[in-house]
Amino acid sequence: MVTELPDDRLSVGIQLPIQSTSPSFAEAWEADAGRDELARVARAADRAGLAYVAVCDHVAIPAERAAAMGTRWWDTVATLGWLAGITERVRLLSHVYVPAYRHPLQVAKAFATLDVVSGGRVVLGVGAGHVEGEFDVLGVPFAERGALLDEAIDALRAAFAEDFPTLPGPRWPAADVGQHPRPIQEDGPPIWVGGSSRAALRRAALRGDGWLPQGRVTAEDVAFLHELRAEAGRRGRFDVGALVGSVHVGEPGWDLGGPALTGPPEKVAHVLAKLAALGVAQAQVRLRSRSVEELEEQIERLGAEVLPLLVRS
């Protein structure tokens, strides 16, 4: 199996609840939820035909950031590895992983193994990171995070593609060391680059297989990405992403506490189709809910009633 999005329709995925409960986005019911509820959500996404389920990455939250971010951030690779065993079709996305926190050979070994146990369903979403205190405690220079991400992506490409890769450094030089298992996907999992700064867009265009924006996507962003890729002679597949925000299929009947895309499936599909018209290949939605049962129902409705309307005739 190859982790490639379909060309005939917009793909839709979700960031999983429970594995992260930052106050900025977690629903109240997630506070008392755990492994069993997370399994129910992931299996529902698998049954519904969603493109991916995503897990984020933080190692240790500084005390001064704990109130804003929370401290529950499940390990990305361990969680995705477990999800690989309880799902069959849905892709497994790290959104986003901070490779600079680890040696690239560690990252390559983890994601190559994950690719094998999942049957080739992994997408490696990466980002530069943003919590300075987390960099400090891990002994990684925060001011160099952009350059470190560039080096890490290049090193991962080499490690995925070659049995005995040469990593030139400067932070992580290596040579004459081999790794197995090899990833199932040719040249390794696709790498989607996160961020919405101009530097992040350049990184995505020149080093990535896709883009994971942090905010609103514009036609200018998409054109800039494709211009950079054309100038660099990059002609392979490139998946532009979009964050849709809060969504509720149908009329919620309760206060969602902020702006949201709500209404019948036709309305939700119409708005999502506008993203496809911009050149977006995959969109991430945040389905609002008051319980795991309601979230399962929302995922089922998204898959059965909205996704079929996104298929291009």
Average predicted confidence (pLDDT) for the chain: 96
Domain count, the chain: 1
The whole-number pLDDT of residue 4 equals: 80
| Pairwise CA distance, residues 55 & 125, whole Å | 10
Average pLDDT over residues 161-165: 95
DSSP letter for 232, please.
T
| Pairwise CA distance, residues 265 & 198, whole Å | 35
Sign of the Cα torsion 58, 63, 68, 70 reads positive
Q: Is the pLDDT of residue 7 over 90?
A: no
Helix (H) or strand (E) holding 230: helix 219-231
Q: Does 4 fall in a domain?
A: no
Q: Does 1 fall in a domain?
A: no
Average pLDDT over residues 223-240: 96
Q: Does 121 fall in a domain?
A: yes
The whole-number pLDDT of residue 147 equals: 98
| Pairwise CA distance, residues 73 & 161, whole Å | 30
Q: Does 69 fall in a domain?
A: yes
Question: For 234-283, what is each residue's pLDDT tens digit?
Answer: 998 999 999 999 999 999 999 999 999 999 999 999 999 999 999 999 99
Average pLDDT over residues 282-304: 98
| Pairwise CA distance, residues 226 & 268, whole Å | 27
Q: Is the pLDDT of residue 309 over 90?
A: yes
Q: Does 93 fall in a domain?
A: yes
The whole-number pLDDT of residue 217 equals: 96
* Domain containing residue 107: 11-310
Q: Is the pLDDT of residue 141 over 60?
A: yes
Average pLDDT over residues 82-110: 98
Question: For 196-223, what is each residue's pLDDT tens digit?
Answer: 999 999 999 999 999 999 999 999 999 9
Domain harbouring 127, CATH code: 3.20.20.30
Question: For 144-155, what is each residue's pLDDT tens digit?
Answer: 999 999 999 999
Q: How confident is the model at residue 2 (pLDDT cuts 50, 70, 90)?
A: low
The whole-number pLDDT of residue 1 equals: 52
Q: Does 38 fall in a domain?
A: yes
Helix (H) or strand (E) holding 77: helix 76-86
Rounded to the nearest 5 degrees, what angle is found at the Cα of 83, between the Cα atoms of 291 and 262?
A: 35
The whole-number pLDDT of residue 312 equals: 75
Question: For 63-80, what is each residue's pLDDT tens digit?
Answer: 999 999 999 999 999 999
Helix (H) or strand (E) holding 261: strand 261-263
Q: How confident is the model at residue 172 (pLDDT cuts 50, 70, 90)?
A: very high
